[in-house]
Structure 1
Amino acid sequence: MTTEQEMVHIEKLKGYGCFACGTANPIGLNMEFYRNGDAVCSEITLSKQYEGWENMAHGGIVSTLLDEIMSWTVMYFKRSFVVTRKMDIKYIKPVPIDTPLIVSGKLGRQVQEPKIEVSGQIRNRAGNLLVRSKGEFVMVPEDKLSTVSGALKQDILQLFRNFS
Structure 2
Amino acid sequence: MMKEHFKDLLEYNLHFNQLLIQNFMENNLVWSEKSKSLLNHILNAHQIWNARILNQRTFEVWQINFDESLLKINSDNFNNTLEILNQKELTEIISYKNSIGKEFNNTIQEVLFHFLNHSTYHRGQIALLMKQGGLEPINTDYIFYKRDL
TM-score, normalised on structure 1?
A: 0.31
**Which structure shows the higher helix fraction?**
2
**Larger strand proportion of the pair:** 1
